[in-house]
Structure formats: C-alpha cells, structure tokens
Amino acid sequence: MNGNALVLSGVITARDALRHTPAGLPLLQLTLLHQSEQMEAGQPFRTELEIEVQVLGQAAEALDRQATGTRISVKGFLARKSRNSRMLVIRTEQFKLIDGD
C-alpha cells in the first residue's frame, strides 16, 4: 500500500519555535485550523478541524517568518505524531501562502 497524500488549507492558529531534528533538519510545528463546506451523499456538510502540521527543511525556515493568522495550504502526508502516539499529524515540506479574500 502506498497511497497517503493530503492537501489541506487553513489558518495558522499556533506555532512552536523553530528547532532542529537530531539529523540537523529545521522543524517547525504548527496548528492549522481548517473550515470548509464539502458535499457528502449529495448534501452539504460543514467541516471544521484543527490538526498539527510538522514542516521540515527549507519550508520550515520560510514558514517560520509567518505569523499566526496567516492562511496557507500544505501538501504532505499523514503520520503518527511519534512512534508511541496514536495522534495524527500532517508532515510536509511544501506550503503556499493563500491571499486574503
């Protein structure tokens, strides 16, 4: 099985200080608030969720300059927060800023 890809947009509601992994990669952890209306079984469904995003590498350094309240879209995959955790996070090296409405 190899299918695990996700694109999600939202607003940064919280973020930690930039740090580095034991391998020396920049790592930024943030919380993304997503709100949208989806179609399910032909009916509109309003969804809202908060999820932790772990941004690695150059993207982490670039995103570190953005403030809470910034709208972004991330492209990555779902993974456990840690080996012993059941909590899911999005891991990514890609993001883009979303212009305000």
Question: In this predicted structure, what is the pLDDT of residue 2?
Answer: 84
What residue segments make up the domains of the chain, in order of their start?
6-97
How far apart (Å, rounded) are the C-alpha atoms in residues 91 and 101?
27
C-alpha to C-alpha distances, 61 to 22, 23, 30, 65, nearest whole angstrom:
16, 16, 13, 7
Question: In this predicted structure, what is the pLDDT of residue 1?
Answer: 67
Question: In this predicted structure, what is the pLDDT of residue 58?
Answer: 95
* Contacts for 19 with CB less than 8 Å, ≥ 6 apart: 26, 27, 28
Provide the token pair at 57. 């590498």
Chain center to CA of 29: 8
pLDDT tens digits, 34-80: 999 999 999 999 999 999 999 999 999 999 999 999 999 999 999 99
CATH topology of domain 6-97: OB fold (Dihydrolipoamide Acetyltransferase, E2P) (2.40.50)
Chain center to CA of 27: 12
